[in-house]
Amino acid sequence: MDFRVRKGTPQDLDALARLYDTMNDHLAATHNYPGWKKGIYPTREDAEGGLREGSLFVAVEEEEIIGSMILRHQPEPAYLTAPWQAALADEEVLVLHTFVVHPQKLRHGIGGKMLAFAAQYGKDTGVKALRLDVYEQNSPAIRLYERCGYRYIDTVSLGLEDRGLNWFRLYEKLL
């Protein structure tokens, strides 16, 4: 599968909103491992925020967006007390958010290649670690992260208990 990852643009927002809705429909019809809900997360507003920050990336195959992620320096508050492998300043870390691959493209190696892009982008921009959180019941994503060299750090609350999402596993990959 030949695709590339590039920075997101304003012209990508409609396609990203459709991608998020398509994924949420797929999750609702199958098994909702990440606990996402259509209209709540992820939404177009999440992509718009990533675009404003310059942290939105899209995976594109033949001009169609097949995946997306946000790579920002700002951690979630729960990250601040985690026992990370290295004590690093925010600007030395990229935090992976809103990581999604189109449901028709799952199990094609796209997620792993997107994570490899994130690692190379981090190295190229002087970042020393990639960090992320994943809902504790999202076993497919957990397997992917561990297969790609991310190390489990801790389990924390992100304050999403009202959505039924009590615990998130934190992972880190040193670059």
Q: What is the dihedral of CA 85, 87, 89, 91, to 10 degrees?
A: -20
99-134: buried (b, 16+ CB within 10 Å) or exposed (e) per residue?
A: bbbbeebeeeebbebbbebbbebbeeeebebbbbbb
- 134-168: pLDDT as tens digits: 999 999 999 999 999 999 999 999 988 888 888 99
User: Nearest Cα to 172, choosing from 100, 88, 112?
Assistant: 88
What tens digit of pLDDT does each residue of 26-56 get? 999 999 999 999 999 999 999 999 999 999 9
Greatest C-alpha distance within the chain: 43
Inter-residue contact 47 to 16 (CB < 8 Å):
yes
Around Cβ 11, how many Cβ atoms within 10 Å? 7
DSSP 128: -
Full set of structural domains in the chain with CATH: 4-174 (3.40.630.30)
Cβ contact 170:154 at 8 Å: yes
> Residue 22 has what pLDDT?
96
Question: What is the Cβ-side half-sphere exposure of residue 32, based on CA atoms within 13 angstroms?
Answer: 14
In this structure, what DSSP letter does residue 26 have? H
What tens digit of pLDDT does each residue of 59-118 get?
999 999 999 999 999 999 999 999 999 999 999 999 999 999 999 999 899 999 999 999
Confidence (pLDDT) at 163: 84
SS3 labels along 33-78: CCCCECCCECCHHHHHHHHHHCCEEEEEECCEEEEEEEEECCCCHH
Q: Can you tell me the mean pLDDT for 17-27? A: 96
pTM: predicted TM-score of the whole model, two decimal places: 0.94
- The pLDDT value given to residue 1: 62
